[in-house]
Chains A and B, each alone.
Chain A
Amino acid sequence: DAKTTQPNSMESNEEEPVHLPCNHSTISGTDYIHWYRQLPSQGPEYVIHGLTSNVNNRMASLAIAEDRKSSTLILHRATLRDAAVYYCILSPKDSGGGADGLTFGKGTHLIIQP
């Protein structure tokens, strides 16, 4: 399976933008890029996903490099409630008969300073 590499932790100030990087140099042409986050004492929650083009939703934006070997999750204005572990995950477009579960790495621990 294609792997992702993320920094162990990042720190940002409240009300400032946050850019969370993810490297996935062995991504295949049909892998989706997903981002999930896990707040303390909760299950993971979906943030955003994309394939080739940049994506925006109410939570965040996803910027995908032209060669798709890296991506960046952008939180436009961080709040204290955004402090969480953020996971970048690849998921095959057509998982066929194989497991459809997601492979979570260690993620990036985002710390928000007031």
Chain B
Amino acid sequence: DVKVTQSSRYLVKRTGEKVFLECVQDMDHENMFWYRQDPGLGLRLIYFSYDVKMKEKGDIPEGYSVSREKKERFSLILESASTNQTSMYLCASSLFYGRGDNEQFFGPGTRLTVL
């Protein structure tokens, strides 16, 4: 089975801190994604990557950056955390780029609280 793991289930940070969220997948998938999920707003795409060192902005990239130095690992970075970035963060991966029949595999999520 494909496994997508995220570094933390729960994280508490202070305003202004630099925050790293790590995601690892073990099935050699090309695509990796970061979403955030907020009540009433559903899941929203922050960034995605279709190859090592490649990244594309999603719907809400402001305040975030990403890094993909290895195929299996995709990091989400909050350069200076703010309270409005308190959310559930979900990482996902899928096999092929540009295919509408791709199945996405999600990690368990990281619930980030910024105080």
Interface set of A (CB-CB < 8 Å, partner B): 30-32, 36, 41-46, 49, 51, 91-97, 99-107
Q: B25: which A residues are within 8 A, CB to CB?
A: none
B interface residues, tally (CB under 8 Å): 29
CB distance from B110 to the nearest CB of A (A): 10
Known contacts A30-B100, A95-B98; A104 and B56 CB within 8 A of each other? no
Other 5 A-B pairs with CB < 8 A, given A43-B92, A93-B99, A99-B56:
A30-B100, A100-B98, A101-B48, A106-B40, A107-B42
- Provide the residues of chain A in CB contact with B99, threshold 8 Å: 93-95, 100
Give the residues in chain B near A49, CB-CB below 8 Å: 101, 103
- Residue B94 at the A interface, CB < 8 A? yes
Q: In the complex, what's the smallest C-beta–C-beta distance from A70 to chain B, in angstroms?
A: 19
Q: Can you list 8 A-B pairs, Cβ within 8 angstroms, ordered by A?
A: A32-B100, A43-B107, A44-B104, A46-B103, A51-B101, A91-B101, A100-B99, A105-B42
Cross-chain contact A93 with B101 (CB below 8 angstroms): yes
Tell me how far the C-beta of A30 lies from the nearest C-beta in chain B, rounded to whole angstroms: 7
Kindly identify which residue among B43, B100, B103, B108 contacts A42, using a CB–CB cutoff of 8 Å. Answer: B108
